[in-house]
Structure 1
Amino acid sequence: MINSLLVGDKVAIVALARKVDFADLEPAIQILESWGLEVVLGKTVWESYHQFAGPDSVRLADFQTMLDDPAIKAIFSARGGYGTTRLIDQVDFTKFRQQPKWIIGFSDITALHSHLHNFGLESIHGTMPVLFAKPGAGEAVESLRRILFGEEVAYQCPAHVLNKNGQAAGVLIGGNLSLLVTCLGTASDIDTSGKILFLEDLDEYLYHIDRMMVQLDRAGKLKNLAGLMVGDMSDMKDNAVPFGKNAYEIIREHAGKYDYPICFGFSTGHEPHNLALVCGRKAILKIDDSGTNLVYSEAV
C-alpha cells in the first residue's frame, strides 16, 4: 500500500523520455509547492541528448536515484514522448518494492504503469508537470492532487452513442494503446483478465488503431475483460483512401463482440481534461443511458 502524501513531503520531477524546457516546468513547481510539497528536480530536467532528456544511462541513473531515496514520496515524469521502454528492464526496483511510492505520468509512461502492475503496485495515470498550466487542465491537476493526498474521487461522463451499457467491477489498468501493444511479450505485458481496461492514443493513422486492436485481440487481451473505457483518441490521421471508420468505431468493432460494458469519451488521454486514474486499484464502472460513472470500490 502506498501512503498518501502529507504536507512537507518531498516529491521529485524527472524526465524519463523526451527532453523538457525548464520554463515549462515552473508553473507545476509552483503548484506543487502550493500544496505544501518540497520539489526535488532530477538532473534530467536540464539534460538534452537528441530528442531525449539525456542519454539512457543518465535518465536511468536519475530515475534510480529517486526510486531509492526514502525521503522522496512521489515521482512525477516531467513529460512523455518516447524513451521509457529503453530503460525499464535496467531499473532495479528492489528498494522501491520494499517502500513503494507514487509514480505519476501517462502516454509513454504507460509502460512503467504496466510494469509496476506486475509487482502488484498501484500508480497514477495522470497529467504531467509540463502540462499543469495548459488551459483547461485545472480539473485534471485537481484530480491528481486528490488522489495523491488520499481524497476520494468519483468520475462521470456523458452517454455516447457507441456505449454498451452494463456494470463492471475489477482492477483498473491501461493507458496508451500504442504502449500497451509495445509491451506485449515483454516483462511489462499485463494480464487483463477480469479487469477494467482503459485506452487512449494520439497522432496515429486509423489503420494503426485497427492493427493494434487486432493485435490486442489476437493476444487475448480483449476477450476476458470485465469492462472497457475508451478515452481521447486525439489528432487521428487517415490515408488518401479513407479507412472508413473513426477510432471509436474501430475499437467498438473489435471489443463490442464481447459481453462486457464499454464506454466512450471518458476524459483520459492527450487532452487538457485528463482525469487522474489509479492503475491497479479496484473500481466499479457503471454505464447506462444517462452516462458513465467510475468509482473506486474502496470508497463504496
Structure 2
Amino acid sequence: MPTIAPPPLQPGDTVAIVCPARKASHQELTAAVTTLRSWGLEVVLGASTNVEHHQFGGADEVRAQDFQQQLDNPAVRAILCARGGYGTTRIIDQLDFSGLAQHPKWIAGFSDITTLNSHLLALGYQSVHGVMPLLFHQESGEESLESLRRALFGESVGYSIPAHPLNCLGTATGELVGGNLSILQTLTGTRSDCSTAGRILFLEDIDEYLYAIDRMLVHLDRTGKLASLAGLLVGHFTNPQDNTTPYGQTPNEIIAYYAGKYGFPVAHGFPVGHEPQNMALICGRMAQLRVDNTGARLAYL
C-alpha cells in the first residue's frame, strides 16, 4: 500500500517546534524561528521547549503531552523537532497518531528522531529526515537547510554525489527508509520497527565504537533487514571511536562487508547525518538510486 504524503506547506501555515528528546531554550531557537517566519510560516513553540528535566525537554509526560497537542491540532501543519540526543523512545508508546488520518502533517528531524521517522513509516506515513531547528544556522549548512525547505514545501529534491571506491554499481527503486543506525537497531522488534524489504535504506551515526557499528550491522543482517533491500545509502559516520587494540576497519568498510553479501546498489559518502551536509530525505517516498562509475544520483519518482 502506498505511503501517505502530508500536504506541502504553504505560506501562512503554522508549524510547531517541540522537544521530544533533549532540551532547547527559546533563546537557542530564536534564529530558527526567524528563518521559519522568513519562509512565510507562523511558528508555535511547544510546552516542551524552554523547560528541562535533567537533559530532557521536560519530563516524559510534558514531552508526550506537548507532542500529542501538536499532533491533534489541525491548524498545525508540521511538527519540527528542535533537536535529537535521547528521549523519543521513552514517549513514543504514549502517543496516539490516529488523528493523522484526518489531518496528515509533516514531522521532521533526525538522529534520535529516527524513532518518529520509523514509527510513522510503520503506520504508513511519510516524514522528513532532515536538519533540526537547533542546527538551522550551523556553518556550511545552508544547502541542508534549503533542502529541508524544499522538502516541506513540496518542491523538487534530488541529489548527486561523487564516485566512492566502495560503491556497488546498479539501479534501485523503492521507498526510502532509515536514519540513525543505533536507533534503528534499538527499534527492531518494537511497534516502531518498519520493514526494509524492497526499500532503499540510508544509514548514519555519530560517536559509535567501530566494534559497535559492526555489532549493529550483524543484528540488522541476522534479522533479515539487509538481505531484502533494494539499495543502500551510506551517510556520515561522524567521530567513530576505537579501542586500544584497533578494530581494523572504517565504518564504511564494515558496512561494505555486509552489503557486499547481497549485491544491491550501494552509494557511500551520501550527505546525510551529523555533519553540516545533512540533506533532507523523505522517509516513505518512492525514489530511484543510480550508482555508476561516475557517482550516484538519488531522485524521487
Say yes or no: TM over 0.5. yes
Separation in structure 2 between the aligned mates of residue 138 and residue 35 of structure 1, nearest angstrom: 14
Q: 1:296 aligns with which of 292, 296, 300?
A: 300
Aligned 8 A contact 2:25 2:51 in 1: no
CA–CA distance in 2 between the matches of 1:171 and 1:276? Answer: 14
Give the secondary structure class of the aligned counterpart of 1:124.
Answer: strand
Residue 266, structure 1, aligned to residue 262, structure 2: no
1:286 aligns with one of 280, 290, 300 = 290
Q: Distance in 2 between matches of 1:149 and 1:185?
A: 34
Matched, 1:38 2:62: no
Q: How far 1:24 moved relative to its partner?
A: 1.9
2:113 to 106, 109, 114: 109
For 1:105 and 1:182, the matched residues in 2 are separated by 18
Count of residues paired in the alignment: 297
- Contact kept, 8 Å, 2:168 with 2:263, in 1: the verdict is no
1:124-135 aligned at under 5 Å gives the runs 124-135=128-139
- Residue among 204, 208, 222 paired with 2:208: 204
Matched, 1:215 2:188: no
Pairing 1:173–2:173 present? no
Match of 2:83 in 1: 79
**1:97-133 deviation digits (Å, cap 9, x = unpaired):** 3211000000001011111001111000000000001
1:189 corresponds to: 193
Which among 270, 276, 280 is matched to residue 276 of structure 1? 280
Aligned match for 1:56, one of 52, 56, 60: 60
Is there any run of 5+ residues in structure 1 with no aligned partner, and where?
A: none
Q: CA RMSD in A?
A: 0.7
- SS class of match (1:46): coil
Q: Which residue does 1:20 correspond to in 2?
A: 24
Residues in 1 aligned to 2:212 and 2:256: alpha-carbon distance in whole angstroms? 15
The answer on whether the counterparts of 2:168 and 2:266 sit within 8 Å (CA) in structure 1 is yes
Q: Does 1:69 align with 2:77?
A: no
Please give the secondary structure, in 2, of the residue aligned with 1:43: coil
Amino acid at match of 1:54: G
Please state whether the residue corresponding to 1:24 is helix, strand or coil.
helix
Matched, 1:150 2:154: yes
Check conservation: 2:287, 2:300, Cα contact below 8 A: yes
Describe the superposition over 1:26-52 as per-residue Cα deviations: whole angstroms up to 9, x where unpaired.
111111000000000001111100110
The one-letter code matched in structure 1 to 2:50 is W
Between the aligned residues of both structures, percent identity stands at 56
Q: Distance in 1 between matches of 2:101 and 2:123?
A: 8
| Aligned counterparts of 2:265 and 2:204: Cα–Cα separation in 1 | 17
Q: Which amino acid aligns with 1:151?
A: E
Q: Encode CA deviations 1:158-180: one digit per residue, 9 max, x unaligned.
A: 11010001100001110000000
Deviation at 1:212, TM superposition (A): 0.1
Matched with 2:10 is 6
Amino acid at match of 2:191: A
C-alpha displacement at 1:96, in angstroms? 2.0
Paired residue for 2:103?
99
Structure 1 SS opposite 2:6: coil
Q: What CA deviation, in whole Å up to 9, does each residue of 1:199-254 have, x standing for no partner?
A: 00000000000000000000000001000000000010000000000100000011
SS at match of 1:229: strand
Instruction: Return the offset for 1:190.
Output: 1.2
Structure 2 gaps of 5+ residues are none
Q: Which residue of 2 aligns with 1:164?
A: 168
TM-score (normalised: structure 1):
0.98
Please tell me the residue identity of whatever aligns with 1:224: S
